Structure 1
Amino acid sequence: MRRLGSVQRKMPCVFVTEVKEEPSTKREHQPFKVLATETISHKALDADIYSAIPTEKVDGTCCYVTTYKGQPYLWARLDRKPNKVAEKRFKNFLHSKQNSKEFFWNIEEDFKPVPECWIPAKEIEQLNGNPMPDENGHIPGWVPVEKNNKQYCWHSSVVNYEFEIALVLKHHSDDPGLLEISAVPLSDLLEQTLELIGTNINGNPYGLGSKKHPLHLLIPHGAFQVHRHHLGLCWPIPDTYMNSKPVIINMNLNKYEYAFDAKSLFNHFSKIDHQKFSRLNDIILSV
């Protein structure tokens, strides 16, 4: 499949933002809104925003595909965060910040421990070989999604490491107006970032699956050209561009000559192979 981008850190708003003292429509109990002005930020201009192709912001959780134990693996986002003492010191600095001063981090002492397999995100600032925190005091990074790790059970539901495949939602290769759910080789996704969406991810704004039959999928970043809340528009909304397109299931597993776990999403999708649905949330998986 066509290689898209790799989003290794949070993307800043294209426009200069401002805080408005009224209840947020995105986060419950938040007494303010962060809205965009009509001024393009200097970071966007430096990145040649006028040559960029706008794409839909998919609302899930970020993942990354790279090698682990000698094979392509799905990695979950895990930012290394400061401990309580360092966080308090950092917040005090922000509240009394002067332009002439910089905050000093002690990377070895100020941050909570992370698993040994943790890796920092690419392209982040380094100092003396140590990854440095971003403006929020976090060090963006990744951990591999192990098959039996309950913390990442929804991540692991969309991959099969034995056959090195992943459940991916993308445009149909022959019909740009049609979406397709298929098993994609993880090797085709190497060094890409994707968004995990579904029943138990980030409030499930796309209405996928159910509590009894959860449904999760991966979407490559940049797959859907054309987020809303910085523009003052409601989110979530009933009909996103992505959620309004018909979708077909392409899940013929016979070539693998293997009995997939009866409860796996791969097996459920194979039972509705070649079926076409008018929209994503019309897909209902049953035992």
Structure 2
Amino acid sequence: MQWTGAVQQKIPCVFITQVKDEPSTKREHQMFKVIASETLNPIALNADIHNATPTEKVDGTCCYVAKHKGVPYLWARYDRKPTKQAEKRFKKHISVKGSTKDFIWNVDDDFKSVPEFWIPAKGVTHSNGKPYPDANGHIPGWVPVENGNKQYCWHSSAVNYELEVAIVLKRHPEDPGSLLICLVYLSELLEQTLELIGTNINANPYGIGNKKNPIHLLVPHGTLLIFDLPPLDHKSLISWFDHCQEGKVEGIVWHCNDRSLIKLHRYHLGLCWPLKDTYLTSKPISISIDLCKYKYEAASSSLLRKLSKKDTQQFDSLKDIVLD
């Protein structure tokens, strides 16, 4: 099951969460923690969480594939944020009222301008025909990743618009216990969201590549399935995260039959992330990138060319892939 539709509204936690008045271990400068209670969230129960498909939450940056200028393109996450003055007014309202309820935004005046071709994410609320901010005061959206844009150079390294392909990390189709790096046509990923992971993303929790030869890969959401998950209770899940090899992940995203998503982060349970060894890097991996069949000569410095030199090779772990 793929995560389609690019809905980027806040995904509810599987448990009812509580705010704890102490510094966050996940976000620097955030002076509170979000902790999961032992009570299952009614939203999760209404979505039939017990019959949902659990998948690994991968630690990267969210991307989206959609058409741009008539052809499939990779899009980077870009939230439209309020101006400093509007944000100050928003925070003052929260401190007085205790919530965001009844706060009214002037979308035309209260928000910073966005790059050309910016689009709001699907699922964003509209008011008077215009995208309206979520409870955090942001309007989630996307910008196309165009060649030559230094801000998105790591995104660009994972796609090739001449071949119209993406460099994808996924489960090996012939061996579910292994991983595969391969090329996938962008047209096959249309309207799907993916996670970009690698050397220069989120402090590289998976230890992929190095500064001299960085590696960045796209992981389609919902493709790294989790098997043998314990019962959905607080203690069982803490034990699973703490003691099982498969539990060495950032979190879980459940894909429900009604297409809704439910999540659980390690930090919701007071557990640490990143880890020295992760489940993603415990699996053997092979590379299948044969540029000859595309009759294409990539630039010698490109990630695509360097990976193609490792075509058919197998490695014990993602960490063991070293490019020339």
Partners of 1:241 and 1:85 in 2: how far apart?
44
| 1:253 correspondence with 2:291 | yes
TM-score in terms of structure 1 length: 0.94
Aligned to 2:197: 197
| 1:4 correspondence with 2:2 | yes
Aligned residues: 284
Aligned to 1:91: 91
Aligned to 2:118: 118
Is the 8 Å Cα contact of residues 224 and 242 (structure 1) preserved in structure 2? no
Matches within 5 A, 1:1-287: 4-6=2-4, 7-9=6-8, 10-28=10-28, 30-97=30-97, 101-226=101-226, 227=251, 228-286=266-324
Partners of 2:21 and 2:99 in 1: how far apart?
25
Kindly tell me: are residues 253 and 23 of structure 1, through their superposed partners in 2, closer, same or farther at Cα, counting changes over 3 Å? same
CA deviation after TM superposition for structure 1 residue 5, in Å? 1.2
CA deviation after TM superposition for structure 1 residue 200, in Å? 0.5
Equivalent residue letter for 2:272? C
Deviates more, 1:100-109 or 1:153-162: 100-109
Partners of 2:98 and 2:60 in 1: how far apart?
36
Kindly tell me: are residues 99 and 253 of structure 1, through their superposed partners in 2, closer, same or farther at Cα, counting changes over 3 Å? closer
Equivalent residue letter for 1:5? W
Kindly tell me: are residues 244 and 66 of structure 1, through their superposed partners in 2, closer, same or farther at Cα, counting changes over 3 Å? same
Equivalent residue letter for 2:80? R
Equivalent residue letter for 2:297? A
Kindly tell me: are residues 34 and 101 of structure 1, through their superposed partners in 2, closer, same or farther at Cα, counting changes over 3 Å? closer
CA deviation after TM superposition for structure 1 residue 29, in Å? 5.9
Partners of 2:150 and 2:135 in 1: how far apart?
31
SS of alignment partner, residue 176 of structure 1: strand
Is the 8 Å Cα contact of residues 20 and 32 (structure 1) preserved in structure 2? yes
Kindly tell me: are residues 100 and 269 of structure 1, through their superposed partners in 2, closer, same or farther at Cα, counting changes over 3 Å? closer
Partners of 2:292 and 2:268 in 1: how far apart?
46
Kindly tell me: are residues 284 and 23 of structure 1, through their superposed partners in 2, closer, same or farther at Cα, counting changes over 3 Å? same
Equivalent residue letter for 1:239? D
**Identical-pair percentage:** 62
Deviates more, 1:101-110 or 1:199-208: 101-110
Structure 2, unmatched stretches of 5+, are 227-250, 252-265
SS of alignment partner, residue 43 of structure 1: helix
TM-score in terms of structure 2 length: 0.83
SS of alignment partner, residue 181 of structure 2: strand
What does the per-residue CA deviation read over 1:76-123, in whole Å, with 9 as the maximum and x for residues that have no partner?
A: 000000111111111111112267951111111110000120000001
